Amino acid sequence: MKNVYFIGIGGIGMSALARYYKFKGYAVAGYDRTPSDLTFALEREGIDVHYQDLPDELPTDKNETLVVYTPAVPADLAELVKAREEGYLVLKRSRTLGEIARGQHCLAVAGTHGKTTTSTLIAHILTQSGAGCSAFLGGISRNYDTNLLMSENNTIVAEADEFDRSFLQLFPEIAVITAVDADHLDIYGDYAHVVEAFKAFASQVSGTLIAKKGTPIGPEDTKAKFLTYHYTDSSADFYPINPKADIYGCFHYDLHTPSGVVSDIRVGAPGWVNAENSVATAAVALTYGINPEAVKEAIGTFEGVKRRLEVHVNTPQLSYVDDYAHHPAELTSAITSLRDIFPSRKLTAIFQPHLYTRTRDFAPEFAAALSLVDKLILLDIYPAREEPIPGVTSEIIFKDVTAPEKVLLKKEELMDYLADEPLDVLATFGAGNIDRFIEPITKLLNSRL
User: Could you give the CA distance from residue 16 to residue 146 in angstroms, rounded to a whole number?
Assistant: 8
What structural domains does the chain harbor?
Answer: 3-92 (3.40.50.720), 102-301 (3.40.1190.10), 310-446 (3.90.190.20)
pLDDT per residue as tens digits for the range 112-143? 989 999 999 999 999 999 999 999 999 999 99
Number of H helices, E strands in the chain: 14, 21
Measured in whole angstroms, the distance separating CA 177 from the mean position of its chain's CA atoms is: 14
Listed residue (162, 441, 433) closest to 324, CA to CA: 433
Distances (CA, A) of 8 to 4, 164, 198, 322, 384: 13, 16, 26, 25, 12
pLDDT at 185: 84
The segments of the chain whose pLDDT lies below 50 read none
User: Could you give the CA distance from residue 388 to residue 158 in angstroms, rounded to a whole number?
Assistant: 33
Listed residue (46, 286, 322, 309) closest to 174, CA to CA: 286
Which residues, including other chains, have CB under 8 Å from residue 25's CB and lie 6 or more apart? Answer: none
User: Could you give the CA distance from residue 317 to residue 181 in angstroms, rounded to a whole number?
Assistant: 37
Nearest-5° Cα angle at 122, 121 to 127: 95
First to last CA, the chain: 55
Count the Cβ atoms, other than its own, within 10 Å of residue 239: 23
Q: HEC string of 179-247? A: CCCCCCHHHHCCHHHHHHHHHHHHHCCCCEEEEECCCCCCHHHCCCEEEEECCCCCCCCEEEEEEEECC
pLDDT at 64: 96
pLDDT at 174: 98
pLDDT at 102: 92
pLDDT at 3: 97
12 φ/ψ angles, rounded to the nearest 5 degrees: -65, -40
pLDDT at 128: 97
Count the Cβ atoms, other than its own, within 10 Å of residue 396: 17
pLDDT at 142: 94
